[in-house]
Amino acid sequence: MQDLGSRQLQQLPHSFQKAGMMPDINCHFRIKMTRFPFDQFSKQYLEELLSPWGEVVVGREVLGESREVDVWFTPNSQIKTNAQPLGLLGQLAALPCLFEPYRNQPTITEVRECLLKLFLTQAQLQRQSKRDETTLAEEDLPRLWILATSASETLVSSFHAEPDLTDWPPGIYFLADALRSAIIAINQLPRTRDTLWLRILGKGTTQQQAIAELIAMPREDSRRSLALELLASWRITIETNLNDPNEDSQELIMQLSPAYLQWREETLQQGKAEGKAEGKAEGKAEGKAEGKAEAQCEIAVNLLEAGMSHEQVVQITGLSIELVQQLARERTAENGHQ
C-alpha cells in the first residue's frame, strides 16, 4: 500500500467539507501516517481540546537535547481553565504543564526520561527569567503529568508516589513536592463526567466505556463532535496501515468502531441535510442529487489515491463496490495517459 503524500493529505479535508461530510467547517479531518498511531492521536486530541484555553505546542524541543516534550501547555491568563467544561483535564491544565501520554504502562526508565524533560524545561525557563531580569516563583514552574493507561503498585512505589485524595480523585499519584510531577493511572480514575476526557486516552474496557459515554452526550456538544472525529481518524489510520494484522491492532479497531460508525452516520446525515436544504433553496432537486453524487465520487477518488482499498472506500463513502471499481479503473487509465 502506498504512502499518503502531502498532496493527498491536503485534498482530503477539502473534499470532505465540499460533500457536507464535516460536523463543523472549522474541524479538520486528518489521516496521518505514523508508526505510532496512539502517539499521534493523543497529541492531536490534547491539542484540540486545550487550544481554546491557552497555547499548545506539540513536540516542543528541549534546547540542547535531542528530546521533545509531547504536549506543552500554557494557559491563557485571562481564562480560568479549571472552570471550563474539561473536568479533570482542565484542572490539570490550570498551570503551565507538560503532558506525556502512554498507550501502555511506562517503564521506570521512561518515567525518568519524562522527569529529565521537565527539569530541562524548567531550567530553560529559569535561564530566560534571569536574562529578562524577572522573577519566576517556584509555584509558577511547569508541572509534569504522565498520562498512563495503567500504573502498577511496583511502578508507583518505586518513585514513592502517593495519592492526594483531599484535593484529587483516585488514580493520581504525586511524586515528591519539589518534583512537581504525577503519574495518572487512567484505568483507576472514577467513572464520572469530570474524568471522561482523560479516560478517552485509556485502553481496553476503560476506553470502551468512555467512548460509550461520549456517544451518549448531546449531539450539539462540540467537544463530542471533535472527539468522535479524532477517534474515527485514528481507526482509519490504523486500518489503512495494517499490513500485518495482530491481536492488539484488531482489538483496538473493534474498540474504536462504535465511535467511527457514529461519526460516519452523523456526518452522512448532516451531508444529506445540507444537500436537501441547498436543493430546496435553489429549487433544483436534480442538480442537488447530481452534485452530491459527484462530490461522493471525488471523495472516493481522493481516498483511492491515498492508497485505501476498494472495501475501505465503500465503507467510508457508501458508494457501491462496482462504482468504486469503475472509478479505480478510470483513475488508472487517466494516469496511464499522463
Q: Bigger pLDDT: 88 or 19?
A: 88
Same domain, 260 and 134: no
Task: Tell me how far apart the alpha carbons of residues 191 and 199 are, in angstroms, rounded to a whole number.
Answer: 8
pTM: 0.68
Q: Structurally, how many domains does the chain consist of? A: 2
For residue 275, being part of any structural domain is answered with: yes
When pLDDT is cut at 50, 70 and 90, the band that residue 331 belongs to is confident
Q: What is the C-alpha to C-alpha distance for residues 289 and 294, in angstroms, rounded to an integer?
A: 9
Q: How many CA atoms lie within 13 A of 170 on its CB side?
A: 6
255 contact partners, CB below 8 Å, separation of at least 6: 204, 207, 208, 211
φ, ψ for residue 158 (rounded to 5)? -65, -20
In this prediction, residue 252 carries a pLDDT of: 74
Enclosing domain of residue 297:
1-25+228-338
DSSP 201: T
Residues 150 and 286 in one domain: no
Which is nearest to 299 in space by CA: 4, 12, 10, 8? 12
* Tens of pLDDT, residues 171-208: 999 999 999 999 999 999 999 999 999 999 999 899 88
Is 180 in the same domain as 153? yes
Considering the domain architecture, whether residues 90 and 52 belong to the same structural domain is answered as yes
Question: What would the pLDDT profile of 276-326 be if each residue is shown by its tens digit?
Answer: 556 555 555 555 555 567 767 877 776 777 667 787 777 767 788 888 888
Q: Where are the beta strands (DSSP E) in the chain?
A: 54-61, 68-75, 97-102, 143-148, 162-163, 172-174, 181-185
Residue with cell 484540540: 48
Could you tell me the three cell numbers for 205?
Answer: 474496557
Do 43 and 139 belong together in one domain?
yes
Query: Is the separation of the CB atoms in 215 and 200 below 8 Å?
Result: no
95, amino acid identity: L
Nine-digit cell string for 161: 508516589
